[in-house]
Amino acid sequence: MANLDLSKYGIVDVQEIIHNPSYEKLYEEEMNPALEGFEKGQLSELDAVNVMTGEFTGRSPKDKFLVDNEASQDIWWTTPESPNDNKKVSEEAWDYLKEITAKQLSGKKLYVMDTFLGANENSRLKIRFIMEVAWQAHFVKNMFIRPTEEELENYGEPDFVAMNGSKTQNDRWEEFGMNSPVYTVFNLKEKMQVIGGSWYGGEMKKGMFAMMNYYLPKAGMAAMHCSANVGKDGDVAIFFGLSGTGKTTLSTDPNRQLIGDDEHGWDDEGVFNFEGGCYAKTINLDKDAEPEIYGAIKRNALLENVTLDADGKIDFNSGPANTRVSYPIHHIDNIAVPSKAGHAKKVIFLTADAFGVTPPVSKLTPEQTKYYFLSGFTAKLAGTERGVTTPQPTFSACFGGAFLSLHPTKYGEELVKKMEEHGAEAYLVNTGWNGTGKRISIKDTRGIITAILDGSIDKAPTKNLPIFNLEIPTELAGVDTGILDPRDTYANASEWEEKAKDLGARFIKNFVKYTDNEEGKALVAAGPQVD
């Protein structure tokens, strides 16, 4: 361990290498009173360290690029017709960015973390992270799978390397046709990621998720932006959804073992977690509504951008919308060990609909499953982001378009193949708003999830919701009957109809990009129908 040579990455004259440090060592390093600015940690009243990530409190997708070379020819590249985050950059730009990142890390005290990505030995990646910021190493230790001492002794060479030079910037960005001095760039030929200009830890987490999303489907496995849990009888449920839709909250269930909260694969053995931790939103976190997440915030958890006073007292109700906590998965009491289980029987698509149109729950046909998976709909509520004054629809392919490295239809193909093989059923669940103008309560949503998991929803009476042609239950135990049909939440049902036609038209417009083949064309009938 002590003889780790980083010169092969261009990093030279290193003062000290802290290789795979313990949590105790990381705490000591990030709480060093000599630290300044965004490197410095502050101890909170819950005994978890809080750090600030500066201007970037989330990923910077406009600054994500992949090197255009022979190893990346099957990437789902962005086009004007189908825009996404997979933008090309030249090998010349790569050489420069790798050089300035290595230069930033040279001559410093560095933290090197050797991790696994993927709970199944036959498909996991060995990822090495190199950085100069202690709390970023802490983030990595929380979020990736921590090898045992024996596994570290036999670790060998990594499959992928991430160099985080957050303190440096790209002064040649305009010359290289990039977006800004900030960069997160991947080279599939060298199997390396370099980061500069952003302190946000999620660039490492989501960057490696994109790499698993490249390798797994090519090997016939589903790669999924979802949470997952397993019941006492071995029944597995997976929860797809974009940020803010409730993946972490709803999968963290005291009656079920958590497999993981964000990123999973599905192979011939079953569903498995990519990660070794959870990354939960903390804005407006309520101890009574989300006790498992609140209870996970303790020593070794790492808070990001949470508002603290000088004494460490926490105010979860202020700060940026993307305040977060990362914690090792064992901070949740009820977890699957190791983080995997059998095949999923229930597949739940979560959407936070700010238009107040979609029902709290509907059961999907196989064709609707494909349609709504490819659509990946959620919405931003007015006021949640600067400049957002009316509800804004977000269509993100496969509920994770930002992290897809291959064409979306490949992920849909692998998911539906696994669902058909194992008799899984799919449901669309709206965790957002309805005609009352209020968000659907966590209590009602949990009642819906319970009905899905125990099968009672399949025995409930149903009716058809027009325009979207969705089958919705008319009553469910533990759920307010008055919200099940969204039309009933409006003073006048014609208001719902007007909004439904508007949203339905947006679905139709978004789906056009998937109609360039016969399968896509055939799925149009499974979506909204607007006269």
CA 129 to CA 115: how far, in whole Å? 8
Residue 270 Cα to chain centre, angstroms = 20
Assess whether pLDDT exceeds 90 at residue 2: no
Q: Which residue has the higher pLDDT, 483 or 242?
A: 483
For residue range 350-395, list pLDDT tens digits in order.
Answer: 999 999 999 999 999 999 999 999 999 999 764 444 444 577 899 9
Asked if 146 is an active-site residue, the reply is: no
Q: Give the mean model confidence (pLDDT) for residues 163-188.
A: 98
Assess whether pLDDT exceeds 50 at residue 444: yes
Catalytic annotation, pick one of 44, 57, 59, 85: 59
pLDDT for 80: 87
For residue range 144-168, list pLDDT tens digits in order.
Answer: 999 999 999 999 999 999 999 999 9
Asked if 243 is an active-site residue, the reply is: yes
Asked if 225 is an active-site residue, the reply is: yes
If one counts every other C-beta atom within 10 angstroms of the C-beta of residue 413, the result is 15
Catalytic annotation, pick one of 262, 267, 353, 444: 262
Q: Give the mean model confidence (pLDDT) for residues 86-111.
A: 98
For residue range 38-79, list pLDDT tens digits in order.
Answer: 999 999 999 999 999 999 999 999 999 999 999 999 999 999
Percent of the chain with pLDDT over 70: 98
CA 266 to CA 178: how far, in whole Å? 35
CA 245 to CA 394: how far, in whole Å? 12
Asked if 509 is an active-site residue, the reply is: no
CA 330 to CA 282: how far, in whole Å? 18
CA 317 to CA 307: how far, in whole Å? 8
Residue whose structure tokens are 């600015």: 37
Instruction: Tell me the three-class secondary structure of 69-136, residue by residue.
Output: CHHHCCCCCCCCCCCCCCEEECHHHHHHHHHHHHHHHCCCEEEEEEEEECCCCCCCEEEEEEECCHHH
Q: Which residue has the higher pLDDT, 254 or 343?
A: 343
Catalytic annotation, pick one of 87, 126, 141, 247: 247
pLDDT for 387: 46
Query: Where residue 515 falls among pLDDT bands split at 50, 70, 90?
Result: confident
Query: Where residue 82 falls among pLDDT bands split at 50, 70, 90?
Result: confident
Mean pLDDT, the chain, integer: 94
Catalytic annotation, pick one of 206, 264, 346, 407: 206
In degrees and rounded to multiples of 5, residue 53 shows phi and psi of: -110, 15
pLDDT for 380: 74
Catalytic annotation, pick one of 248, 251, 323, 378: 248
Asked if 346 is an active-site residue, the reply is: no
Catalytic annotation, pick one of 324, 346, 418, 487: 324
CA distances from 519 to 191, 398, 457 (A): 34, 16, 30
Beta-ladder partners of 130: 112, 163
Catalytic annotation, pick one of 57, 106, 243, 362: 243
Query: Where residue 520 falls among pLDDT bands split at 50, 70, 90?
Result: confident
pLDDT for 385: 42
Asked if 307 is an active-site residue, the reply is: no
CA 285 to CA 294: how far, in whole Å? 7
